[in-house]
């Protein structure tokens, strides 16, 4: 089980968010037979990276720098990166079109009273195996993947 599924409460710690990526930032290493290893982005990790960027702006007031973000540090580059990430997360949500039903629960309103609401927590979703993808990408750093073992548009066939 990936730590995101078993964590308790909300984490504002950058280390937690960084732990969602592999040490190389979530890039799958592919052997194209040219004696070089090629890095290929994987959407789940790009989405997590972007969510971390949005979180750092909302929670911390500025972008946290991940070691694999490159050297850019200008405000304009940060703004463009943030907006790219915001748009990318919207695309990812629409693409996944998660149709899980979310039951209403009692939530506290601004005055401390209870009202019907939806918080989405504890609901059943049909998920793919994020841990398997994480492990596969992590292993590719040691043994790059041959293109024939990849799907046409995805990591797994």
User: How far is Cα 32 from Cα 44, in angstroms, rounded to an integer?
Assistant: 22
Which range of 14-18, 116-120, 152-156 scores highest in mean pLDDT? It is: 152-156
CA pair distance 153, 132, nearest whole angstrom: 18
Interval 103-110 mean pLDDT: 83
**Listed residue (15, 14, 31, 17) closest to 139, CA to CA:** 31
- Decide: 49 and 21 in contact? Cβ < 8 Å: yes
pLDDT in tens, 21-71: 899 999 999 999 999 999 999 999 999 999 988 888 888 766 655 444 554
With both helix axes pointing from N to C terminus, report the angle between 43-60 and 130-142 in degrees, rounded to the nearest 10.
Answer: 110
List own/partner pairs for 9-16 with CB under 8 A and 24 or more apart.
Answer: 12/59, 14/56, 14/64
Q: Is 21 left (phi over 0), alpha (psi -120 to 50) or beta?
A: beta
48-60 pLDDT, tens digit each: 999 988 888 888 7
Distance CA 126, CA 84 (A): 27
Question: What number is the average pLDDT over the span 91-107?
Answer: 89
pLDDT value of position 5: 55
Residue 74 is encoded by which pair of tokens?
A: 């200008």
């Amino acid at each position: 089980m990936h730590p995101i599924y078993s964590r308790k409460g909300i984490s504002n710690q950058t280390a937690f968010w960084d732990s969602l990526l592999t040490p190389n930032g979530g890039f799958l290493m592919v052997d194209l037979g040219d004696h070089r290893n090629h890095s290929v982005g994987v959407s789940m990790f790009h989405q997590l990276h972007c969510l971390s960027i949005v979180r750092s702006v909302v929670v911390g007031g500025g972008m946290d720098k991940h070691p694999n973000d490159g050297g850019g540090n200008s405000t304009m580059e940060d703004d463009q990166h943030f907006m790219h990430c915001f748009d990318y997360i919207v695309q990812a949500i629409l693409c996944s079109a998660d149709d899980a039903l979310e039951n209403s629960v009692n939530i506290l309103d601004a005055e401390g009273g209870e009202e019907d609401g939806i918080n989405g927590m504890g609901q059943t979703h049909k998920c793919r195996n994020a841990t398997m993808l994480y492990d596969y990408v992590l292993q590719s750093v040691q043994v790059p993947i041959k293109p024939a073992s990849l799907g046409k548009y995805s990591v797994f066939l």
